[in-house]
């Protein structure tokens, strides 16, 4: 009997310890956000990205398993663009739980930029929307270090509120992350400051907020979210030639057919860059090196 009592006490102790040490479950929409949360939270958080590296946010549809995973989240970091419909589904799951879940909207306070390759007068005169998921404004907010800096501060505050015992841990995690971000930002400003050319081509316009941060310009080959027609492609080649563009960035998951045609016609480089890469800071460094190599 005494042995059974000690066993019961041991189980209760282990259960209490597990409850205290259980990581805060966090859900995010895209892998770069997961990188940010993990850097701040460390082993005190368990992070799940709904969209995986290499997947397209524009064709993504959550599985029943992912919708169930949202039911455990105490914190959800969303991109917050109005046309990311899969985020609406996740919000419905969270709202249906009835308890309080902290939601961080990365787009809060951000002036959404116009999306290259989209035309405001196309379709809207007749009350129609574009076929593409995000209309006329750019949803790829996470490629901007300045936007992600603000998100990081809010994530640390939210985690400290959810897990007060870890406040010092999150404060240190935030300090370390912002220090690393400042280092990469300074490197990029130095790397990209003296470029002879400041325009690069993309098969899909995902790098606009990054370009804005560093006084660059992306030109989108897509037209209203689609491959250009032969006539449009011909005009685009002439504009690119006039601007002496020397680089095309292609994103995994999107057609590169037109990009390859342009590259052959202008004899310029095609480089694959994934804005969804989970190693967010490392990916920004690589972006700077690719641009420096091609545009110097």
- Local structure of residue 113 (DSSP, 8 states): P
Q: Which pLDDT does position 118 carry in this prediction?
A: 65
Share of the chain above pLDDT 90, in %: 71
Domain ranges of the chain: 24-186, 194-295
| Residue for token pair 């967010």 | 280
pLDDT band at 1 (very low <50, low <70, confident <90, very high): low
Report strand pairing: 102-105 vs 199-202: unpaired
pLDDT band at 281 (very low <50, low <70, confident <90, very high): very high
- CA 78 – CA 267 distance, rounded (Å): 40
Which tokens sit at 55?
């997947």
Q: Which pLDDT does position 253 carry in this prediction?
A: 86
Intrachain domains 24-186 and 194-295 with the same fold: yes
Report strand pairing: 199-202 vs 247-250: parallel
- CA 38 – CA 36 distance, rounded (Å): 6
The arithmetic mean of pLDDT across residues 239-266, rounded, is 95
Q: Which pLDDT does position 125 carry in this prediction?
A: 30
Report strand pairing: 102-105 vs 247-250: unpaired
pLDDT band at 265 (very low <50, low <70, confident <90, very high): very high
Render pLDDT for 141-186 as a digit per residue (tens, 0 to 9). Answer: 999 999 999 999 999 999 999 999 999 999 999 999 999 999 999 9
pTM (2 decimals)? 0.86
| DSSP H or E stretch at residue 237 | helix 230-242
Render pLDDT for 73-132 as a digit per residue (tens, 0 to 9). Answer: 999 999 999 889 899 989 988 988 877 899 999 999 999 999 987 654 333 332 323 333
Output the average pLDDT for the chain. Answer: 88
Q: Which fold has domain 194-295?
A: Rossmann fold (3.40.50)
CATH entry 3.40.50.1980 includes domain 24-186 = yes
- CA 200 – CA 240 distance, rounded (Å): 9
Residue 275 pLDDT greater than 80, yes or no: yes
The arithmetic mean of pLDDT across residues 209-221, rounded, is 97
Render pLDDT for 117-132 as a digit per residue (tens, 0 to 9). Answer: 765 433 333 232 333 3
Q: Which pLDDT does position 119 carry in this prediction?
A: 54
Residue 14 pLDDT greater than 70, yes or no: no
């Amino acid at each position: 009997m005494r042995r059974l009592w000690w066993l019961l006490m041991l189980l209760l102790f282990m259960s209490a310890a597990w409850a205290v040490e259980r990581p805060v479950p966090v859900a995010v929409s895209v892998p770069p956000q997961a990188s940010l949360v993990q850097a701040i939270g460390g082993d005190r958080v368990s992070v799940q990205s709904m969209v995986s590296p290499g997947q397209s946010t524009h064709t993504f549809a959550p599985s029943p398993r992912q919708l169930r995973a949202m039911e455990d989240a105490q914190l959800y970091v969303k991109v917050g663009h109005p046309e990311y419909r899969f985020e609406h589904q996740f919000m419905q799951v969270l709202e249906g739980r009835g308890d309080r879940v902290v939601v961080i909207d990365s787009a809060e306070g951000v002036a959404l930029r116009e999306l290259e390759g989209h035309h405001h007068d196309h379709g809207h005169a007749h009350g129609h929307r574009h076929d593409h998921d995000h209309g006329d404004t750019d949803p790829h907010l996470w490629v901007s270090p300045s936007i992600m800096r603000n998100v990081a501060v809010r994530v640390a505050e939210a985690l400290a509120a959810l897990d007060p015992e870890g406040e010092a841990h999150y404060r240190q995690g935030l300090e370390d992350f912002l220090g690393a971000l400042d280092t990469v930002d300074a490197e990029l400003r130095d790397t990209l400051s003296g470029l002879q050319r400041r325009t690069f081509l993309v098969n899909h316009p995902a790098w606009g907020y990054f370009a804005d941060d560093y006084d660059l310009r992306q030109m989108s080959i897509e037209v209203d979210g689609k491959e250009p027609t032969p006539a449009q492609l011909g005009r685009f080649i002439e504009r690119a030639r006039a601007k002496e563009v020397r680089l095309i960035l292609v994103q995994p998951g999107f057609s590169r057919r037109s990009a390859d045609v342009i590259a052959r016609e202008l004899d310029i480089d095609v480089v694959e860059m994934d804005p969804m890469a989970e190693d967010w800071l490392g990916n920004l460094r690589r972006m700077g090196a690719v641009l420096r190599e091609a545009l110097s």
